Amino acid sequence: MEIVYVYTKKRSDFGRPCNFSERAAEVAVDIAPDPGAAAAFVPRNPVDAHVQHASDMSEHEVNTERVEVETRGVNHTEGGWPKDINAHEMEQTIRFRKKVEKDENYINTITHLGTLMEHCIKQNNAINIYEDYFGEEEMAEVEDEPPSAKTINVISKLMSVFGVLPPKRDPNITKRTATHLSWHPDGCKKLAVAYSSLEFQQNMKDMSFDSYIWDLENSNKPELVLKPSSPLVSLEYNPKDSHILAGGCYNGQIAYWDTRKGRLPVEVSTVEFSHRDPVYGTIWLQSKTGTECFSASTDGQVLWWDIRKLSEPTETLVLDVTRKGLLENALGAISLEFEPTMPTKFMVGTEQGIVITCNRKAKTPPEKISGTYSGHHGPVYALSRNPFYPKFFLTVGDWTARIWSEESKESSIMWTKYHLSYLTDGCWSTVRPAVFFTTKMDGTLDIWDFIFKQNDPSLSLKICDEPLFSLRLQDNGCFVGCGSKLGTVTLLEISSGLCTLQKNEKTLATAMFERETKREKILEARHREMRLKERVRSEIRYEEGKEEAPEEGPAELLERVRSDFLEAIEAELRRRERAEAK
């Protein structure tokens, strides 16, 4: 290419600042007016002029790019073996280990390191570096703090489909309910949520079956999408292996997932040997293998499973309170409770408002049903033993929450007031023995502290406008998750006053529960005595009436009932007329 001209500049002129100076104005161009151009203008009549009082502004938006965060895991395996040694062959590893242990260098190294380790162990035994010196002062400060809670996260299942789009963009006609929550056993970083539509005949053909595991530090999208064959009604982490989850499906099947193997279930129970109705409760058992669980459904059965072989249950119990073992007489289970400290006992809450206590180690199936508690007018939606005093347990149903004692089966020892809205779930606090939580159909979360007051909740929070359906407290007692009917999960952090054990609280709670149990026993004895006297009187009256009055025929009985009914109607009409006249 031919160079036409070269621009040059001195090196000293590069980067030199500009020097501006003031000078007088100069006329660059002066165009004189032309009178002859006026004839070319056309006058307009009328003339419309618009005046805007506000100054015109340009609209400008700036949207920063969202940071994509991805969680990765590292799998540690045994290593350090020579290439010619197969780590999976027991004989080769033992032979190599014996050879190394005979080496003088190995013995000298272990002897040297043993001296250093012994010094460190003696230091740890002498000084507790984690000792809390001012625990009493901090506890005294907590007592004066008013109860409160703050929302730290709101998770919607719609995010899993649309990223971070608002809920109004949901394409499904029928919303799915967050039916069950399960916290990760190793902390409060992850939450597994089961989603299902429990409305009768509301499952659409295009409705999603997915449930999700959420990473609370990156809740814009789920960490893992679980793909069951039927919507999950219950979902539980394995407390011994946090990679394993067991779920109960809407069609009655039991499935389990290994998060290391992906979104599909590892194994699913066969339909022939599964429940016939939705599985409302799935709980892991305390076993050596950590693979055993049991489930309950509204079909009236409790089934025990080993996830290593889900082809059929290992044990079956029919919830027939008549102890005949007939499935047609069984009560439908809607809640399930198991306390690890009592491995042979468990409790079942039924649709009929009855709580059934069971003993798995009984010899025959009828003997496994050890007792019943009846106190609710509808299904028992929640059932939870007190973590500090297992013989006291909480039930939630109809419009109340009730506290029961195993020693008093005829009635509960304490209860809340009757609410205007139906109660849907509840649980005890894991750190305070007299604090429990309840959710209601009006979207309210109530936190009760029975030592502080028993007529009203210590804290009542309006979480959302739709009904709350599920509730789960994290093991440290500071975080609570609430699932709504439209699938929104709200996470709240509770104030330290409600999740810190108060001074002498265990003593006060024990005294309160024992006092109410003793009072209820006295009332039960008095009621039994009164019922016995009334039965004797009624038998005497029946015998006297049988001797004096002739037997009433069907026609006379019908006429008497008809006249009593008409008299009651006339009395009610007269009462209303008097009320209107006033």
Please, which pLDDT band fits residue 446 given cuts at 50, 70 and 90?
very high
CB 447 within 8 A of CB 435: yes
Higher pLDDT, 56 or 241: 241
Residue 71, pLDDT > 70, answer yes
pLDDT in tens, 503-528: 888 888 888 888 888 888 888 888 88
Closest CA to 479 of 489, 487, 488, 469: 489
pLDDT in tens, 182-220: 998 887 788 899 988 887 656 666 778 888 888 888 777
Residue 546 C-alpha from the chain's centroid: 60
Question: CA neighbours within 13 Å on the CB side: how many for 254?
Answer: 31
Residue 159, pLDDT > 70, answer no
pLDDT in tens, 160-182: 444 443 333 233 456 788 899 99
Give the CA dihedral 348, 349, 351, 356, nearest 10 degrees: 60
Quick one: 149-504 is in which CATH superfamily? Answer: YVTN repeat-like/Quinoprotein amine dehydrogenase (2.130.10.10)
Residue 547: its pLDDT value, please?
A: 57
Q: How far are the Cα atoms of 88, 123, 237, 512 from residue 475, in angstroms, in the given order? A: 38, 32, 13, 24
pLDDT in tens, 458-482: 889 988 888 898 999 988 888 899 9
**Helix, coil or strand: residue 385:** strand
Residue 69, pLDDT > 90, answer no
Contacts of 372 (CB under 8 A, 6+ apart): 321, 354, 355, 356, 357, 409
Extents of the domains making up the chain: 149-504
pLDDT in tens, 366-405: 788 888 888 888 899 999 999 888 889 999 988 999 998 8
Q: What phi and psi values does residue 333 have, to the nearest 5 degrees?
A: -85, 135
Residue 319, pLDDT > 90, answer no
Contacts of 483 (CB under 8 A, 6+ apart): 177, 178, 179, 180, 181, 193, 468, 469, 470, 471, 489
Residue 130, pLDDT > 80, answer no
The pTM for the full model equals 0.66
Q: Tell me the pLDDT of the chain averaged across its residues.
A: 83
Contacts of 192 (CB under 8 A, 6+ apart): 181, 182, 183, 184, 211, 212, 213, 214, 226, 235, 236, 237, 245
Residue 437: its pLDDT value, please?
A: 93
Radius of gyration of the chain (CA): 37
Contacts of 576 (CB under 8 A, 6+ apart): none
Higher pLDDT, 544 or 161: 544
Cα gap 539→544, rounded to integer Å: 9
* Lowest-pLDDT range of 159-163, 332-336, 348-352: 159-163
